[in-house]
Chains A and B, each alone.
Chain A
Amino acid sequence: MNPQMILRLVGLRYQLLWAQTRTRNGRIALFFAGYTFALLIMLLLAGGGFGAGMVAMRSGNAERVAQAVLGGLFLNSLMISVVTGFGINVAFTDAALRRFPLSARERLTARHLTGILEPIWLFALAMFLGLSFGMYGFGTGNLGLGTVGVVLLLMVDYLAARVLATLIEWLSRVRGGTAILFVLLITICTLPAVLTPWLTAAHGSKQAVLAILRYTPPFAAAALMTGRDAGRWLPALGVLAASIAALTAVLVALERAAARPRGSVAAAITWDDRYERVASIFGPVMAPLIGRTLRYYVRSNKVRFNYIAAIPALAFMTFANAGGHGPLHYFVRALGGFTVAGFLGTAAMSTNQFGFDASGFRRYFLLPVPPAAILRASSYTALYLGGLLVAAALVLWLALAPVPFDARMPPMLLGCGLGGLLLFNALAIWTSLLSPRRTDFESTFGNQLSLGGNVLLIGGIMSCIFGVIILDKKVDPGVVLSFWWAPVAGGVAALVFYLYSLRWGASIFVSRRESLLNTIEGRS
C-alpha cells in the first residue's frame, strides 16, 4: 500500500472541488453549500440527534427510535445520492489512476476513498453521529459501539448507492434495460400505496416485518447503538460486515462488467431516417437541426432514465399521501404531477442546451443558418418530447385513475402539463444562455446541471409538490374544479412568455457566443 500517494489523491480531489469555486457559479454554489451545511449540522445535532435521544429516553424504547431515525436517514442519503448523483461520481477512473505508480488494489482503495470522502457522505456521517451522541448524551446509548455502527452504516450506504447507480447505468445501456427500469420504478413508486393497507389490515404482519428488518443495516446499526450485551450487538455487527462484503463483491463484479469494451464492432452503414421523419414536421429548414438534437436527447442515458421516470414520478406525486380524503383529492395532486411530468424527462438537457455539444458547439456558428434557428431547434425538441409525455400521462389518467370523470378535468390537466412545459422551457432557454455548464454526454449519474439549471429544476419540482399539497389542504376540490379555466389561461400565458424568450434569447445567444464557447469547450 502507498498511503501517501492515496492521501495525495484525496487531497487532489478536494483541490479540484475547490477549483470549481473560481467561477462565479462555483462561488455562489459554495456559499449555498456552506450555508446549508451549517444549517444541517445545527438542525441534526439539535433535532435529529439530541431530539431523538430525548424521545428515546422518554418513550423508553431507544432502539425503536434509533431504528426509525437511522432507517430514514439511510434511505434519504441513498436516494439523494442516486437521484442527484452527489457522492457517486467517479472522481478518478481506474484508467486515469493508471498514470500513477499504483497497484490495482491501491487504485481501488484510492477510488473508493475519494468517493466516500465526498461532502454528501460527510453530511450523512454528521447525521448518524448526531443521533449516536444524542442517545449517549441521554444515557440510552453506547458511544463506542454506536460510533462503530454508524461508520459501518455509512460504508454500507455509500456502497449501496454505488451499486444501485452502476446497476441503473448498466441497465440503461443494455437492450431491454429501459423497460426493466420502467417496471422497477413503477413498482417502487406504487409499493407504499399497496403495502400500507396490507400492513394495517393483516394481524401480526407488523411484527413479522419488524423481525425481517432486524437483518437490515440501519436496524443493525441501531442495535449496536443501544446494545449493552454481546448477544444483541454481535449479530448486528455481523449483519453490517456481511452487507459490506456482499455489496463490495457486487460492486467489483459490476465495475468489471462495465469496464469491458462495449464492442462496437465494424459494421456497414445503415440509414435510419426515423429521426428525420419525426423532425420533418418542423419544416425543411429545421428538420436536420431537430433530427440531430433528437438523437442527442434519445441517446443520452441521463435523459432516457429521467424520461422513463417521469410517469412513475407523476403517479407517486398523485397517489402518495393523498388517499383517505376521497378520489377528488387525487385529481388536485395530479395537477402538480402533470406540471412536473412535462419537463422532468428532458430537463437534464433542456436546462443546458449546449453543454453536451463540447467542440460541436462551434459548428453551429459555421452553419449557414441564423443562430436563432439553433436555439429554436433545441427548445422545440424538448417541447416535442415533453408534450408526448403529457399526452401519455393524460391517456393513462383517463384510462386508469380511480376518479369519477368530469369534463373539466382533461383541459385542466392538459393546461397544467403544457403550461408547465412551456414555462419551464422558456426559463430553460435563459439558464442555457446565462448559466451554461460543460457536461459529459455519456454519464447517467452525477448532478451535471449548472447552478441555474439546479435552481430551475429543483425549484420547479418543489413548487409543484408543495403548491398542490397546500391547494389540496386549503381549497375544496369542487372549488378547484370550478376554476377549470385557470390552468388553460396559465398555459396561454406560458406560451406567450415562451415565444418572447425564444425571440429575445436569440439575440443574447449571438452576443454571448464567445463566452458560451469558452465554457462549453472547457476554457473557463
Chain B
Amino acid sequence: MTPAIEVSHLTKNYGENVAVDNLSLTVPAGTLFGFLGPNGSGKSTTIGCLTGLLDPNAGEIRILGEPFGNGSVSLKRRMGVMPESLGLFDALYAHEFLFFQARMFGLDEETARRRVNELLAAMELERTGKKRLSEFSAGMRKRVAFAAAVIHAPELLFLDEPFESIDPAGVASIKQWLHKITAQGRTIFLTTHVLETVERLCQQVAIITRPGKLVWQGDITALDRDGVISHDGREFRTLEELFLHLTGERYAELDWL
C-alpha cells in the first residue's frame, strides 16, 4: 500500500536558524499518526512544509504517492488541514466560512450547504447565525477549524493541536470521528502535547526534538495492551516515559514560588 506521506531529508531554515534538520519519515496510509516534540522543536514547521505553506530548503515530500510542492493544487484538494493558529476568517459567520471552504474544495452548492448544516449541528454551533468568528470562544473556534478541515472528507488530514480548549464532550466526539476516518482507510497526521490521548488514539508515533531532528519512530499499539516499548536497552510502560527520556526532563527550582 502506498504510504500517505513520505518525507526524505527535509530541511527548513529561517535564516541562520535550523527549524527542521534532515528529517525523514514515512506515514502508512490508514493510520492515525502522532507527531510529537517539545515546544519549538519544529512540528508546526514540518506541517507547514507538508501542507504547502512553507518551502523547504532541501528534501523531498511525497503525499498520497505523488511529489508535493506548493503548486500541487490537485493534491491539496485531497488534503484537509487544521493549522495551530486555526486560520479562520474572523469577519465571517461560521456557516459562511464553512460554506466558503466547502466551495473552494469543489463541493457543489447543495452538498456544501447540507454538510455545513450537519457539521454545525454536530459541533453544537447551529445557533451562531448572528455571531462572527471573532466573537467565538477559543473552543468554538477550534470546532469550526476542525469542521473546515473535514468538510470535504479528505483522504489525508493534518491536525495541529486539535483538542486544546475543547470541552470533554467535544473531545470525545472528535476522537470518535477520527476513528471513523481511519477505519475508512484515510490517514490522520496529528500533533498534540496530550500524550495520553496519543497513546489511546494513535497506532504510530514519531518524536522529534530541537532543532527538528527525528529521534524515534515506531508502533505504540503495544502500550494499549499493557505492553512496553523497548528503546536504548530500556523498557517504557507509557508514552510519557519514552518522550521524557528522548527529549530530556527539565525541572527548574523557583525558591520564591
A442 CB, min distance to chain B CBs, angstroms: 7
Which residues of A lie under 8 Å from residue B135 when comparing CB positions? 262, 264
A278 CB, min distance to chain B CBs, angstroms: 14
Q: Nearest 7 pairs between A and B by C-beta?
A: A363-B87, A266-B127, A359-B85, A288-B103, A368-B76, A368-B77, A267-B130
Which residues of A lie under 8 Å from residue B100 when comparing CB positions? 288, 291-292
**Contact: B71 with A267, CB < 8 Å?**
no
Known: A265-B130, A366-B51. A359 touches B104 (CB 8 A): no
**Contact: A359 with B76, CB < 8 Å?**
no
Enumerate 27 A-B pairs (CB-CB under 8 Å) in ascending A order: A264-B130, A264-B132, A264-B135, A265-B130, A266-B128, A267-B130, A267-B131, A269-B95, A269-B120, A270-B129, A271-B95, A291-B100, A295-B91, A295-B96, A296-B89, A358-B90, A360-B90, A362-B53, A362-B87, A363-B87, A363-B89, A365-B51, A366-B53, A366-B81, A368-B105, A441-B90, A521-B85
Known: A268-B126, A271-B95, A288-B100. A370 touches B85 (CB 8 A): no
**Of all chain A residues, which has the CB nearest B106?**
A368
**Contact: A369 with B91, CB < 8 Å?**
no
Which residues of A lie under 8 Å from residue B92 when comparing CB positions? 292, 295
Q: A266-B128, A288-B100 are in contact. List 12 more A-B contacts (CB 8 A).
A: A266-B131, A267-B127, A268-B126, A271-B95, A288-B103, A360-B89, A363-B87, A366-B76, A366-B79, A367-B104, A441-B90, A517-B53
Q: Does B88 contact A (CB under 8 A)?
A: yes
Tell me the B51-96 residues at the A interface (CB within 8 Å): 51-55, 70-71, 73-74, 76-77, 79, 81, 83, 85-93, 95-96
Tell me the A508-524 residues at the B interface (CB within 8 Å): 510, 513-514, 517, 521
Q: Does A169 contact B (CB under 8 A)?
A: no
Q: List residues of chain A with CB under 8 Å of any chain B CB.
A: 262, 264-271, 287-289, 291-292, 295-296, 299-300, 356-363, 365-370, 441-442, 510, 513-514, 517, 521
Partner of B104, one of A368, A370, A442: A368
Known: A269-B120, A288-B100, A288-B103. A359 touches B53 (CB 8 A): no
Q: Does B134 contact A (CB under 8 A)?
A: yes
**Contact: B134 with A442, CB < 8 Å?**
yes
Render B89-123 as a binary contact track against A, CB cut-off 8 A, 1 for contact: 11111011000100111100000010011001000
**Contact: B83 with A360, CB < 8 Å?**
no
Known: A359-B86, A370-B71. A268 touches B91 (CB 8 A): no
Partner of A441, one of B53, B74, B91, B129: B91
Known: A292-B92, A442-B134. A366 touches B87 (CB 8 A): yes
Residue in B83, B89, B113 whose Cβ sees the most chain A Cβ within 10 Å: B89
Q: List residues of chain B with CB under 8 Å of any chain A CB.
A: 51-55, 70-71, 73-74, 76-77, 79, 81, 83, 85-93, 95-96, 100, 103-106, 113, 116-117, 120, 126-132, 134-135
Which residues of A lie under 8 Å from residue B127 when comparing CB positions? 266-268
Known: A288-B100, A365-B53. A267 touches B70 (CB 8 A): no
**Contact: B104 with A288, CB < 8 Å?**
yes
Q: How far is A269 from B97 in the complex, measured between Cα atoms in Å?
A: 12
**Of all chain A residues, which has the CB nearest B130?**
A267
Which residues of A lie under 8 Å from residue B93 when comparing CB positions? 269
**Of all chain A residues, which has the CB nearest B158?**
A366
Q: How far is A118 from B83 in the complex, measured between Cα atoms in Å?
A: 38
Partner of B91, one of A270, A271, A296, A370: A296
**Contact: B95 with A514, CB < 8 Å?**
no
Q: How far is A361 from B48 in the complex, measured between Cα atoms in Å?
A: 13
**Contact: A360 with B130, CB < 8 Å?**
no
**Contact: A514 with B89, CB < 8 Å?**
no
Which residues of A lie under 8 Å from residue B129 when comparing CB positions? 267-270
Which residues of A lie under 8 Å from residue B88 when comparing CB positions? 359-360, 363
**Contact: B89 with A357, CB < 8 Å?**
yes
**Of all chain B residues, which has the CB nearest A356?**
B91
Q: How far is A356 from B88 in the complex, measured between Cα atoms in Å?
A: 12
Residue in A357, A362, A370, A442 whose Cβ sees the most chain B Cβ within 10 Å: A362
Q: How far is A211 from B105 in the complex, measured between Cα atoms in Å?
A: 69
Which residues of B lie under 8 Å from residue A366 when comparing CB positions? 51-53, 76, 79, 81, 83, 87
**Contact: A365 with B70, CB < 8 Å?**
yes
Which residues of A lie under 8 Å from residue B116 when comparing CB positions? 269
**Contact: B54 with A514, CB < 8 Å?**
yes
A143 CB, min distance to chain B CBs, angstroms: 52
Q: How far is A289 from B103 in the complex, measured between Cα atoms in Å?
A: 9
Which residues of A lie under 8 Å from residue B73 when comparing CB positions? 368-370
Which residues of A lie under 8 Å from residue B81 when comparing CB positions? 366
Which residues of B lie under 8 Å from residue A369 when comparing CB positions? 73, 104
Residue in A267, A269, A287, A295 whose Cβ sees the most chain B Cβ within 10 Å: A269
B18 CB, min distance to chain A CBs, angstroms: 15
Known: A367-B104, A368-B104. A362 touches B85 (CB 8 A): yes
**Contact: A510 with B70, CB < 8 Å?**
yes
**Of all chain B residues, which has the CB nearest A266?**
B127
Q: How far is A72 from B170 in the complex, measured between Cα atoms in Å?
A: 61
Which residues of A lie under 8 Å from residue B95 when comparing CB positions? 269, 271
